[in-house]
Structure 1
Amino acid sequence: MGLSGYELWLLALVALIVGFSKAGIQGATMPAVAILAVMFGGKASAGIMLPMLIVGDIAAVYQYGKAANFRDVLKLMPASVIGIILGALTGNYLDDQQFKFIMGIIVLICLALLVFRQFQKQAVELPKRPWLTQLVGVTSGFSSMVGNAAGPIFNVYILAQNLNKNAMIGTTAWFFLIINLIKVPFHVFLWGTITWDTLKYTLFAIPFIGIGALIGIWLIKRINENPYKYLIIILTAISAVRLMI
């Protein structure tokens, strides 16, 4: 695969983290985004991670998809597609250092949302305004295309919809499966970041994604979530700074 033993270990760690996140441990993908960006470069890492995320999305849809609220998914989709197109066009004109810097900014914004969510003592209430829904869609699509980092942005929105746990996870799973599939042609034909050569990393990662999901499901039932969330916040902050320097 052209990677050292240490790099293979990091790739396996990234896959485990992706599995964790798709098992319902929100925000866990942020460090994985930064690890891959440091290993492969900003734009290339986005293409390498995307198939891994799709594998995790399929597993999440299989587990929780029937509980999804498709109205919320469809309501955001047109604006999200616009965001994906804007992200694809923007990324096409950036060099790798600029790309990683923008990824760092997006990760920092997501970090702020993670911290806000962690310390929010009551349910988040968002105004019922069409423009806000469209803004969430465009922002989610753009940040997903540029950095595979739309999770915290979407989570703030979905938490305000007063869905039960399974419905929230199922809605999130369907939303990200659809937009991640939409992103594939841009990575293949516009950025050239998904090739037969890069898919070997996905094949290597699949078992670790599955293991990460199983471990995440097991741990989330047995440990206090707060220490884990604080760890994610710290790792995300370090990762974002690393991307920007």
Structure 2
Amino acid sequence: MFGLEIIEIVMLAVGALIVGFSKAGIQGATIPAVAMLAIIFGGKESAGIMLPMLIVGDLVAIFKYGKQGRMRDVLKLMPATILGIVLGSLIGNYLNDQQFKFIMGIIVLVCLILLIIRHLQQKVVELPDNKFLHWFVGIISGFSSMVGNASGPIFNVYILAQNLQKASMIGTTAWFFFLMNLLKVPFHVFLWGTITWDTMKYTAFSLPFIGIGAVIGIWIIHNISEKTYKYLIMFTTAIAAVRLLL
């Protein structure tokens, strides 16, 4: 099917499930899916294949949480985010697949470290509200998202420090990633050529699994301890990062 081995089809389906429940459940938990798709399709091509899946997941998150989002917090990051996307697209255009996967592995490791730091924090550390921080977060988020669809934990560290209510935090994150992912589409289509009519068959295959994943995400939020879930994400992320780097 699709010219993939059975294990690769299973990994694609699991990746779609992860996208769904990370968008409707715990934001930023897509890193294992990023690594799985990179193993199947290679670094750059996997970024294009995964992007429409992420946009579908973003729409689910907006439907559920979008009304609570703070658009002013999203829009003030957009100029820097666009710059990060442009930088990522230009640099990524000159990398071979091995280099691309290596950079993705480094980004995944950095995200894993941020997840661990966030887990170990006893309280949320408030960050200063200034333009330099907004530009730094925007550029890093845009670059890491363009190169590896892996800016979730980076942005989570920032949004957690804004001291927002839970619903507002999730809604703001949903809008930020939806807009950022839409901005990335032209670069994947016209510059990298990683989104084509042919690659959209993987998105079509993934749709039901994204929906199932969203339902699982909502169930997990209500029935499984966040601590246990975080340990699982850290473990799978560590394995995926090592696999990308080897």
TM-score, with normalisation over the residues of structure 2?
Answer: 0.98
CA distance, structure 1, for counterparts of residue 90 and residue 151 of structure 2: 17
Which position in structure 2 is the counterpart of 1:151?
Answer: 152
How is 1:180-219 mapped onto 2 (pairs within 5 angstroms)? Answer: 180-219=181-220
Report the equivalent of 1:117.
Answer: 118
1:10 aligns with 2:11: yes
Matched to 2:77, the amino acid is L
1:102 aligns with 2:103: yes
Distance 2:137 2:100 in 1: 22
CA deviation map 1:37-73 (0-9, x unaligned) = 0110000000000000000001111111111001110
Displacement of 1:9 in angstroms is 1.1
Aligned to 1:121, what secondary structure does the other structure show?
Answer: coil
Q: Distance in 1 between matches of 2:64 and 2:239?
A: 32
- Contact kept, 8 Å, 2:25 with 2:220, in 1: the verdict is no
Identity %, equivalent residues: 70
Choose 211-220 or 78-87, whichever is displaced more.
Answer: 211-220
Q: Secondary structure at the match of 2:198?
A: coil
SS of equivalent residue, structure 1 residue 243:
helix
**Could you say what secondary structure the match of 1:50 adopts?**
helix
Code of the residue aligned with 1:103 in structure 2: it is: M
Q: Which amino acid letter does the alignment assign opposite residue 18 of structure 1?
A: V
Deviation at 1:125, TM superposition (A): 1.1
Which SS does the other structure have where 2:231 is aligned?
helix
Partner of 2:127: 126
Q: How many residues align?
A: 245
Cα offset, 1:150, TM superposition: 0.5
Q: Distance in 1 between matches of 2:55 and 2:21?
A: 14
Q: CA deviation at 1:162?
A: 1.2
Q: Which moved more, 1:151-160 or 1:125-134?
A: 125-134
Q: Deviations over 1:143-175 (max 9, x none)?
A: 000000001111111111111111111100000
The whole-number CA distance in structure 1 between the counterparts of 2:193 and 2:109 is: 27
CA distance in 1 between counterparts of 2:28 and 2:56 reads: 17
1:179 maps to 2:186: no
Give the C-alpha shift of residue 20 in structure 1: 1.2
CA contact (8 A) 1:27 1:232 kept: no
Measure, in 2, the Cα distance between the counterparts of 1:224 and 1:79: 35
Tell me what 1:227 maps to.
228
- The Cα RMSD (Å) is 0.8
Render the CA deviation track for 1:16-52: whole Å, top value 9, x for unaligned. 0001110131332111111100110000000000000
Q: Which moves more between the two structures, 77-86 or 214-223?
A: 214-223
Measured in 2, the distance between the counterparts of 1:223 and 1:176 equals: 25
Distance 1:3 1:152 in 2: 30
Q: Which moved more, 1:45-54 or 1:220-229?
A: 220-229
2:77 alignment partner, SS class: helix
Work out the CA distance in 2 between the residues paired with 1:215 and 1:21. 9
Is residue 17–residue 210 contact of structure 2 (8 Å, CA) maintained in 1?
yes
Deviations 1:186-238 (A, max 9, x none): 00010000000000000000000000010110121011111111111011111
Contact 1:24–1:169 (8 Å) recurs in 2: no
How far did 1:130 drift?
1.4
5+ residue gaps, structure 1 = none
Aligned residue number for residue 92 of structure 1: 93
Question: Aligned-pair distance for 1:115?
Answer: 0.4
